Structure 1
Amino acid sequence: TQTDLLFVGRTEDRKKGLGTLLEALALLPEHVTLKIVDGRIPDDGLVMRFLRRHRIEGRVKLVRRMLTTQELVEQYSTARAAVVPSFFEGFGFPASEAMACGLPVIANAAGALPEVVGTDGSAGRLVPPRDARAMADAILDVLADPARTQRMGRA
């Protein structure tokens, strides 16, 4: 099943910025979906509390186990875009993995992410850190035109 957005990373690490992504999702139309891949999502952690508080559980699919490389590639192949909302990223493996799998990336303009994603907008969109509205707008922009979304994924 295709999903709109994919987040891969440690959900309980606040530097990964998942809270901002979930806030952005709550601002987006109800048809926009998100898949979160993290083998260690606690039942009482940040993600579960936020999903319940904002009543967006039905729009988020959780993959709560460690994946093989092939399984991770399959997750990327079922998404339309990847979101990397980290406040600090030394290199940006999720962004580079997504791009290697042909996905456009919406990322925070923080750490090494501008170098990985690029600043010209051809492979994705950069947004100011901790700005859920800017992230929501960038997500809508990337998803609005399927042909452009595919071009961005090939950039």
Structure 2
Amino acid sequence: MPASSASIINTSVFILMGFPGLDQYYPWFSIPFSSIYAIVFLGNCMVLHVIRTEPSLHQPMFYFLAMLALTDLCMGLSTVHTVLGILWGFSKEIFLDACISQAYFVHGLSCTESGVLLAMAFDRFTAICNPLRYTSILTNSRVTQFMAAILMRAAVSILPVIIRLKFFH
């Protein structure tokens, strides 16, 4: 293989240390971690289900709440397999590509979460300052535009930094 193409392919493996010196306590650590992840997962699913099934909650404030719950759900799902894999003893290593994709999702979802919180603040500001014009300012199409803008900002702003990680030695 030519040297130029060999420098592009990076098959690094990172050893995950977990909590050094506490290996014998990992089964005990995994119980609260698993319980917290299960409660967060079920709670966010319940919030999404209630907002979806209750017609009176089909309003901008609850759409933003649903997007916040979905972001939190995705954040947990992007990290739970690594943490519990270490605690349960399934894996002690992570490949570079998996690490980069996990970093992309963690940082992208953090950016999404901050955008949703900003949109929720704008929603409450509009409801307090312009209560009579609230429904004309925050229409369903405008909420959809906000959500699309938030997702695009998160996906595009994080991507250049994450792509550069692949080419480090």
How does the TM-score come out when normalised to structure 2? 0.24
* Higher relative contact order (CA closer than 8 Å, sequence separation 6+): 2
Task: Looking at secondary structure, tell me which structure has more strand per residue.
Answer: 1
Higher Cα radius of gyration:
2
How does the TM-score come out when normalised to structure 1? 0.26
Task: Looking at secondary structure, tell me which structure has more helix per residue.
Answer: 2
